[in-house]
Amino acid sequence: MTDSSPSHAPVWQRSSSRQRLVKWVGLFWLVAFSVYCWQVMNEDTIWAFVEDAPAQAADIGERMFPPEWSYLGRLWQPLWDTLNMATLGTVLGVIMAVPVAFLAASNTTPSVRFIRPLALLIIVASRSINSLIWALLLVAIIGPGLLAGVIAIGLRSIGFVAKLLYEAIEEIDERQVDAVRATGASGLQVMNYAVVPQILPAFWGISVFRWDINIRESTILGLVGAGGLGLNLQSSLNVLAWNQVSMIFVVILLTVIASEWVSARVRQAVL
Amino acid sequence: MSTSLSTSSNPTQWRRPPVMFKRRWHGYLFLAAIVIYLITATWSIEVDWGRVQEGMARGWRFLQGFLVPDFTTRWRDIQQGLIESLTMTWTSTLAGILISIPIGIGAARNLAPAPIYFLCRSIITLSRSFQEIIIAILLVAMFGFGPFAGFLTLTFASIGFVAKLLAEEIEACEAVQIEAIRATGAGWWQVVNYAVQPQVMPRLIGLSLYRLDINFRESSVIGIVGAGGIGATLNTAIDRYEYDSAGAILIMIIAIVLVVEYSSSYIRRWVQ
């Protein structure tokens, strides 16, 4: 019985040899593709600048360090504008998103074949274009200012709100809808008494969540001319006033933390 | 028990109970506060109607450009921008995931000792608290214009996202399986490799694909502040009022996002 010598004892292995081969070949292609991408991307990179980066970073850090606290006085107005832009943009986005969500949800849409794909297309188009690009376009069309920012935020929010809302609509308890319909309620009454109460908590949760995201987004929309803190950021960057820039960063950070806190509290309360 | 009391207190009309507030007037007060705020906020927006009217013609031209996009005139720029965006997206997602895995493990309370846990959690918080654009501004100032700064921005932003969700997934792992592997006398590495990794792998792949999607969307804007990619091309096109080229670029962005989104949701369903 020489076969059962310890060197021939079977060893447990997680995957079969074929699986392992596939895994290694896949990994090889992944690495090769990534290296290729890396080289294509860095064709025009000037490595001298990259080597110089730590020195640059130290220099910028030094110039940023004491944030210019006196500049804070001039930031209250833009901060107020930023908050308004985010809030009004969210309201606008939500108003536009609600009908889209009802048209996209397979249990409330009037036509699964024609209207639902259209609503889904609106959702995807709105989500795939960043609010900064919307702002860039709107500033070119209606001129710089808060209005462009509000509309940009609104257009960008449609996709997010509508997507989450239509998922919530599709998850409702159909028995309640049947129950209300059994009382002889009309279509609108079914909406009002069976569908809306079920999605209302999700609706408030989604809206506040989007508002929180919009606060972040609206802080930078000014970079392309749409008003708010980003406008100050742009002008401070243009004159290389790094201590003003760091002051703006501090304000943005505090605003974002505050809005996140508010959003978390509200979502806890309604969901 | 007087019968008259019970009949008179029975309401004949049903009213829907208030959903969010315990008392009805709390709701009205809240509503009034919101309305007052919205009016104030709307009032603070100054609209130059003359400028808007002037812009409408431009808006119309843009819409026409979107319907009849011009891919050919600026094709070289668009092509270069797209290649930059795509390569940037791919390499930064990969680098971001590779860095996120150790940080995510370190940020999981059930695997890491306290000092490492706090270190990793603070890295995640730092990465999540600033918008990609702001990171891009700083990195462009340090590393110079071009896709390399964009690569670093997206890598940095990916870390916060992937590591945070990975850590949450590891913390939600089934402790029984970890205990079972540990009972065989396995070391820390073996626990990670045989008990944790199989549980979180599908989720990690899902997260990576989702982040790939986000990184492409972001790579289309960070060019506006000089970090390479299609955003720079788009910015130039709009600055030159070449709306037909801008429309072409936007259509391509939407198309690529669609492809990435559908294929990633397909792969996610297949993996999970």
Q: How many CB pairs under 8 A join A and B?
A: 148
Average pLDDT over chain B reads 84
Contact A214, A90 (CB under 8 A): yes
pLDDT tier for residue B197 given thresholds of 50, 70 and 90: confident
Average pLDDT over chain A reads 85
User: Does any CB of chain A come closer than 8 Å to the CB of residue B94?
Assistant: yes
Q: Count how many Cα atoms sit within 13 Å of the Cα of residue B88 in the half-sphere of its side chain.
A: 34
Structure tokens that stand for A271 in this block? 């969901």
Pick from A74, A83, A69, A75: nearest CA to A219? A83
Of B12-21, B103-112, B126-135, B217-226, where does mean pLDDT reach its minimum? B12-21
pLDDT given for residue B156 in this prediction: 93
- Mean pLDDT throughout A201-216? 90
**Separation between Cα atoms, residue B106 and residue A204, nearest integer Å:** 35
Residue A39: closest C-alpha in chain B: B87
Contact A148, B51 (CB under 8 A): no
3-state secondary structure of B228: coil
**B138-153: per-residue pLDDT in tens?**
888 888 888 888 999 9
Contact A267, A209 (CB under 8 A): yes
pTM, entire model = 0.81
pLDDT given for residue B21 in this prediction: 67
* Residue whose pair of structure tokens reads 């999970």 in the numeric block: B272
pLDDT given for residue A210 in this prediction: 92
For the cut 80, the answer to whether the pLDDT of residue A117 exceeds it is yes
> Within 10 A of B65 (CB to CB), how many other CB atoms are there?
20
pLDDT given for residue A98 in this prediction: 92
Question: Which element (helix H / strand E) includes B248?
Answer: helix B243-271
* Residue whose pair of structure tokens reads 């107020």 in the numeric block: A80
pLDDT given for residue A1 in this prediction: 47
For the cut 80, the answer to whether the pLDDT of residue A75 exceeds it is yes
Contacts of A30 in chain B (CB under 8 A): 94
Q: ipTM score here?
A: 0.78
Structure tokens that stand for A72 in this block? 């804070």
CB interface of B with A, residues 210-229, below 8 Å: 217-218, 220-221, 224-225
Contact B206, B31 (CB under 8 A): no
pLDDT tier for residue A29 given thresholds of 50, 70 and 90: very high
* Residue whose pair of structure tokens reads 């990619």 in the numeric block: B229
pLDDT tier for residue A188 given thresholds of 50, 70 and 90: confident
Q: Do residue A41 and residue B84 have CB atoms under 8 angstroms apart?
A: yes
pLDDT given for residue B19 in this prediction: 59
**B202-212: per-residue pLDDT in tens?**
888 888 888 88
Contacts of A125 in chain B (CB under 8 A): 254
Structure tokens that stand for B239 in this block? 């600055």
Q: Do residue A91 and residue B129 have CB atoms under 8 angstroms apart?
A: no
Contacts of A41 in chain B (CB under 8 A): 84, 87-88, 91, 147-148, 151
Our CA-based measurement puts residue B111 at a distance from the nearest CA of chain A, in whole angstroms, of: 23
Residue A83: closest C-alpha in chain B: B41
Contacts of B20 in chain A (CB under 8 A): 200, 204, 270
Contacts of B38 in chain A (CB under 8 A): 87-88, 91
Mutate to test the interface with A, among B221, B222, B244, B264 (most CBs of A within 10 A): B221
pLDDT given for residue B110 in this prediction: 84
Q: Do residue A143 and residue B52 have CB atoms under 8 angstroms apart?
A: yes
- Mean pLDDT throughout B20-49? 81
Residue A198: closest C-alpha in chain B: B19
Mutate to test the interface with B, among A51, A130, A216 (most CBs of B within 10 A): A130
pLDDT tier for residue B20 given thresholds of 50, 70 and 90: low
Pick from B100, B202, B235: nearest CA to B155? B100
Burial B13-26 (b: 16+ CB within 10 A, else e): eeeeeeeeeeeeee
Of A237-251, B53-67, B210-224, where does mean pLDDT reach its minimum? B53-67
- Mean pLDDT throughout A13-25? 83
Q: Do residue B90 and residue A33 have CB atoms under 8 angstroms apart?
A: yes
Cβ neighbours of residue A207 under 8 Å, at least 6 residues apart?
A90, A94, A161
pLDDT tier for residue B1 given thresholds of 50, 70 and 90: very low
For the cut 90, the answer to whether the pLDDT of residue A57 exceeds it is no
Handedness of CA A241, A243, A247, A249 (dihedral sign): positive
pLDDT given for residue A3 in this prediction: 52
Cβ neighbours of residue A5 under 8 Å, at least 6 residues apart?
none
3-state secondary structure B58-90: HHHHHHHHHHCCCCCCCHHHHHHHHHHHHHHHH
Distances from the Cα of A211 to the Cαs of A89, A90, A145, A153, A253, in angstroms?
Answer: 8, 6, 20, 10, 16
* Residue whose pair of structure tokens reads 């596939």 in the numeric block: A22
Residues above pLDDT 90, as percent of chain A = 16
pLDDT given for residue B272 in this prediction: 65
- Mean pLDDT throughout A101-120? 86
**B142-186: per-residue pLDDT in tens?**
888 888 889 999 999 999 899 999 998 888 888 888 888 888 888
pLDDT given for residue B118 in this prediction: 92
Pick from A52, A45, A223: nearest CA to B146? A45
Q: Do residue A128 and residue B258 have CB atoms under 8 angstroms apart?
A: yes
- Higher confidence at residue B17 or residue B51? B51
Q: Do residue B90 and residue A37 have CB atoms under 8 angstroms apart?
A: yes
**A223-252: per-residue pLDDT in tens?**
888 888 888 888 888 888 888 888 888 888
Note the maximum CA span of chain A: 91
**Separation between Cα atoms, residue A126 and residue A15, nearest integer Å:** 44
**Separation between Cα atoms, residue A112 and residue A3, nearest integer Å:** 66
Contacts of B157 in chain A (CB under 8 A): none
pLDDT tier for residue B9 given thresholds of 50, 70 and 90: low
pLDDT given for residue B188 in this prediction: 86
pLDDT given for residue A113 in this prediction: 84
Q: Do residue B221 and residue A146 have CB atoms under 8 angstroms apart?
A: no
Structure tokens that stand for B102 in this block? 């150790």
Q: Do residue A60 and residue B37 have CB atoms under 8 angstroms apart?
A: no
Q: Give one DSSP letter per residue of A135-170, joined into a string.
A: HHHHHHHH-SSHHHHHHHHHHHHHHHHHHHHHHHHH
